[in-house]
């Protein structure tokens, strides 16, 4: 099984971090209002970052580490992703 850690930007500009085994399905659930309670009132959300992992355990450990980062550190994490998207 593969898993992903992801960051979405909410309508209010806040960032939400989670993990999933299906990014497309999870984003659809967030935007349908059936995902996390945090994102329910902050729709729509946009995927801004993701990392693949070999299994759920690794993804959950990385999610925990990212959630402990400051907002500034999370934004720095996004900077290389923005460069790759150009």
Per-residue pLDDT of the chain (86 residues; tens, 9 = 90+): 699 999 999 999 999 999 999 999 999 999 999 999 999 999 999 999 999 999 999 999 999 999 999 999 999 999 875 555 44
CATH number at residue 12: 3.40.1440.10
Six-digit token string for 68: 């402990």
Residue pair 8/48 in contact (Cβ under 8 Å)? The answer is: yes
How many structural domains is the chain composed of? 1
* Strand pairing category for 15-20 and 3-9: antiparallel
Q: Using only C-alpha atoms, what is the Rg of the chain?
A: 12
Please give the residue range of the domain that contains residue 79.
Answer: 3-85
Nearest to 30 by CA among 51, 56, 4, 8: 8
pTM for the predicted model, two decimal places: 0.90
């Amino acid at each position: 099984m593969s898993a992903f850690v992801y960051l979405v930007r909410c309508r209010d500009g806040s960032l939400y971090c989670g993990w999933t085994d299906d990014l497309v399905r999870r984003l659809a659930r967030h935007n349908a209002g059936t995902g996390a309670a945090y994102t329910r009132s902050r729709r729509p959300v946009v995927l801004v970052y993701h990392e693949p992992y070999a299994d759920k355990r690794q993804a959950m450990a990385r999610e925990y580490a990212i959630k402990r980062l400051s907002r500034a550190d999370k934004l720095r994490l996004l900077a290389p992703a923005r460069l790759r998207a150009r």
